[in-house]
Chain A
Amino acid sequence: MKAIYLDHAATTPIHPEVLQVMVETMEENFGNPSSVHSFGRKARQILDRARITAAKSINASEKDIIFTSGGTEADNLAIIGVAEANKNMGKHIITTKIEHHATLHAARFLEKQGYEVTYLDVLENGTIDMEQLKKSLSEETILVSVMMVNNETGVIQPVQEIGELLKEHQAYFHTDAVQAYGLLPIDVTALGVDLLTVSSHKINGPKGSGFLYVHPDTKIFAQQYGGEQERKRRPGTENVAGVAGFQKAIEISVKEREERVNKYQKYRTLFLEKLKQSAVDFSINGNESERVPNVVNISFPGANVEQLLTNFDLSGIAASSGSACTAGSVEPSHVLAAMFSENSPCTTNSIRFSFGLANNEENVIEAAEKVGQIVGRLTK
């Protein structure tokens, strides 16, 4: 039995060209980019090139890119780094109830440090409440952090609108674009964001690599102490092979973005059509018009997440609930709880399917049929 991967929002298979670049880099280019000799310079060139590629992909300047170990580190650096550097301007932060834990737990940490954090509600369709955001802004607000696309539902948040709103406000604007990057066009100037998080392994690059875009006027404190790397904003010897692979993944994702969007949209539609034919009861969570094409979050009334996911896996279907696990058991989704309420059955009967490079029409159809059979058996 060959397992079918429908969990590309968790991580993605590495692109063969990315792998090749990484292997070459590790074989031929082991130098430390900070070294003052030819080995070091050769490695430094890789970083410089990657930085330009990363910057161009979001219409930024290369000096605005800080390479990190991934999305979590970039979110932490953005949120805690900005909060600490700007506390003389106020100690209020606004984020949302549906952020990734990398953001939420950074915000909780700041609360313990004496900051005040507002967690915005979302509407039932999964988008944040702009009116509540407007009301929550005060003279004390120094940072607003709203994700570009939610990782559990795929729903797009009104980032540009928030950018507009904050133009005349002192608050910095951070967006976690991990689930958007590679699928939505991103232009940091047009969006009006000051900080933006991207992760490599969500776009067929290696794990352990990511970047944070930081607008040059942004005051931010490093969260690590060490050498001069990343202009002291992120010390530590760079993950050169990881960055090289990341660069290749960015190049491919820029070149193939439209093609991928169309392909994933087709898979999603096909999957849902087949699921409808299986006559099981289901509903889609989140706004169907403002969303990325590769994610669908489905509620199966009468089923429960653990039973579904375990059965799927034993039948060779890899999906997820999108939310955190404690001691391996799935906790009710905080995102769906924010959309529907704590006690909604949706929080414990919903599965996220996400499409990508590991899919083709055949395996998407096969997966939908298996999912239909399993759900039918468990809910009859």
Chain B
Amino acid sequence: MKKPEDTRVVVGMSGGVDSSVTALLLKEQGYDVVGIFMKNWDDTDETGFCTATEDFDDVVRVCNQLDIPYYAVNFEKQYWDKVFTYFLDEYKAGRTPNPDVMCNKEIKFKAFLEHALSLGADYVATGHYAQIRRDGDRVEMLRGVDENKDQTYFLNQLSEDVLRKVMFPLGHLPKSEVRRIAKEHDLATATKKDSTGICFIGERNFKEFLSEYLPAQPGKMMTLNGEVKGEHDGLMYYTIGQRQGLGIGGSGGPWFVVGKDLERNILYVGEEYENEALYSDGLTAVDINWINETPAEPFHCTAKFRYRQTDTGVTVYPNPDGTAKVVFDDSERAITPGQAVVFYQEEVCLGGGTIDEVIKNDQALDYVG
């Protein structure tokens, strides 16, 4: 094992408090720390304002406080090709993509990792709330200690080989402690508010953003029985289980999105949160990444179908082609194609895939995506 001072750790710095504290902790542990800002998206407006410029400025200030070198790298092209194109394609296909999962897979832990390695890095570190357990040659990813912040869901596509070169110094800390450390050290980003939503959309209106890239096709909104309840603005604006923004008046309700028919451009809606149509008992997942060994036999574990959900029991029936059938112990509500399904054995994240079909009574639900 190299000594910390001979170990170069390149920290992916966003200008937020988490990556700032990441760099601080590593520096305190004596590592040779280098901060790098990734510019993945250009949002410069007419007045010349660009969020990335502001964020980079925060990176500079923090790195100067820590007295570590800082640089930037431009991955706009890679981000566009690998993440944004996927994002649009999924919406075109009537699904709800997860660009954060793709960004981690293709940018932060691929393009950025390669860049860091070319700079002589031994490790890259990020401010993700996840833990890494190293046991000899075996490297596992564990949930972050802060249950509310655990980000393994977004990191499900990382491989053991990648994790070997990764550090998550915040994984064992609650978020409140991270804020406290930042304040204690008077870091420039100590009170900066956390970014919300998808990075390239930022604070903007999601619908407006999407309409700049994809033509919206309004169509009918109806129940599964064919009763027309109104008009929708374009299928891409709705996700399974959504309640807001349907604008269905009259008696009954509340109304929820229960499905989509892409071919006929119909949005299916149903009454009540617990509407039966929203429930399913299994799914098929594609593009599954198993972080450690690939299971050959069916097994029982827990799974999350969306971020910050408590995981529930499932049985996984893996196929050799990287797909799997996942059967739920109890029926689940609003399973959404395009989102990630992520598997856990206790604290260990096993990996995950993309939800492709939703199954009920051994049949794929044709009204869902």
Asked if A36 is at the interface (CB within 8 A of a chain B CB), the reply is no
Query: Quick one: given A326-B52, A327-B56, are A306 and B119 in contact (CB under 8 Å)?
Result: no
Contact B120 A326 (CB under 8 A): no
Contact B71 A313 (CB under 8 A): yes
Q: Would you give the 0/1 interface string for A31-44, flagging 1 where the beta carbon is closer than 8 Å to chain B?
A: 00000000000000
- Shortest distance in angstroms between B152's beta carbon and chain A's nearest beta carbon? 29
Query: Which residues 304-322 of A sit at the B interface, judged by CB distance below 8 A?
Result: 306-307, 309-311, 313-314
User: Which of the listed residues A309, A310, A331, A378 has the most CB atoms from chain B within 10 Å of its own CB?
Assistant: A310
Give the residue of A311, A314, A327, A330 whose beta carbon is less than 8 angstroms from that of B55: A327
Contact A326 B118 (CB under 8 A): no
- Shortest distance in angstroms between B277's beta carbon and chain A's nearest beta carbon? 46
- Shortest distance in angstroms between A326's beta carbon and chain B's nearest beta carbon? 7
- Spell out B's residues near A (CB within 8 Å): 34, 36-37, 39, 42, 44, 50, 52-53, 55-56, 59-60, 69-74, 115, 118-120
Give the residue of A311, A313, A325 whose beta carbon is less than 8 angstroms from that of B72: A325
Contact A327 B73 (CB under 8 A): no
Give 8 pairs: A residue, B residue, CB < 8 Å, sorted on A: A306-B72, A310-B71, A311-B118, A325-B72, A327-B53, A329-B39, A329-B72, A329-B74
Contact A378 B120 (CB under 8 A): no
| Chain A to chain B: the 7 pairs with minimum beta-carbon distance, closest first | A328-B72, A329-B74, A327-B52, A329-B72, A327-B56, A329-B39, A328-B56
- Shortest distance in angstroms between A217's beta carbon and chain B's nearest beta carbon? 37
Question: How would you classify the secondary structure of chain B's contact residues: helix, strand, loop or mixed?
Answer: mixed
Give the residue of A313, A314, A328 whose beta carbon is less than 8 angstroms from that of B39: A328
Residues of B within 8 A of A325 (CB): 72
- Spell out A's residues near B (CB within 8 Å): 306-307, 309-311, 313-314, 325-331, 378
Provide the bound-state CA to CA distance between A327 and B13, in Å: 12
Provide the bound-state CA to CA distance between A330 and B42, in Å: 13
User: Which of the listed residues B56, B69, B71, B119 has the most CB atoms from chain A within 10 Å of its own CB?
Assistant: B71
User: Which of the listed residues B36, B39, B59 has the most CB atoms from chain A within 10 Å of its own CB?
Assistant: B39
Contact A327 B69 (CB under 8 A): no
User: Which of the listed residues A325, A326, A330 has the most CB atoms from chain B within 10 Å of its own CB?
Assistant: A326
Give the residue of B44, B60, B73 whose beta carbon is less than 8 angstroms from that of A329: B73
Give the residue of B53, B74, B120 whose beta carbon is less than 8 angstroms from that of A314: B120
Contact B119 A314 (CB under 8 A): yes
Residues of B within 8 A of A306 (CB): 71-74, 115
Contact B59 A328 (CB under 8 A): yes
Provide the bound-state CA to CA distance between A76 and B60, in Å: 29
Provide the bound-state CA to CA distance between A329 and B77, in Å: 13
Residues of A within 8 A of B71 (CB): 306, 309-310, 313, 328
Provide the bound-state CA to CA distance between A307 and B119, in Å: 8
Residues of B within 8 A of A313 (CB): 69, 71
- Shortest distance in angstroms between A230's beta carbon and chain B's nearest beta carbon? 30
Provide the bound-state CA to CA distance between A311 and B34, in Å: 11
Closest to B34 in A: A314
Residues of B within 8 A of A378 (CB): 118
Contact B118 A330 (CB under 8 A): no
Contact A328 B37 (CB under 8 A): yes
Contact A327 B118 (CB under 8 A): no
Contact A307 B60 (CB under 8 A): no
Provide the bound-state CA to CA distance between A311 and B53, in Å: 23
User: Which of the listed residues A310, A311, A327, A378 has the most CB atoms from chain B within 10 Å of its own CB?
Assistant: A327
